[in-house]
Structure 1
């Protein structure tokens, strides 16, 4: 699956009230976090939390512990992006 397809599928699942899971996309948790961070940074989704091991400055190799998407919602920007890309 291409990155754009993954992004659109994640947004569509969130829009439909489904909590996406990284294993459905054959992604590692770290790769999954990159997608979720990207969507959050672009303001396409809101109410997501990424938990990291070593959240302080003494750790240089931060790894993802878990990602909470249970409250995730599409923003207006996310809905607009999804509508433009699907049509």
Structure 2
């Protein structure tokens, strides 16, 4: 079972996804979901679905070191689709 939590950074609008199974903390840009997610509205549940569909990008972009919370930082941005 996948243990994933989704939140949103109120200042930047980016989604913050924690994937405990992969030990990832992923910043997902609102624009990436809007442009490449094919959702009529963007919710936390849609951000989770977008992440699961594009998990390979997050794994490719993950940092080499654990952060202070024990996760590898990663991201999914619009530039990953160009």
Fold conserved between structures, TM > 0.5? no
Q: More strand per residue: 1 or 2? A: 2
Scaled by the length of structure 1, what TM-score is found?
A: 0.34
Larger Rg: 1
TM-score by length of 2: 0.35
Greater per-residue helix proportion: 1
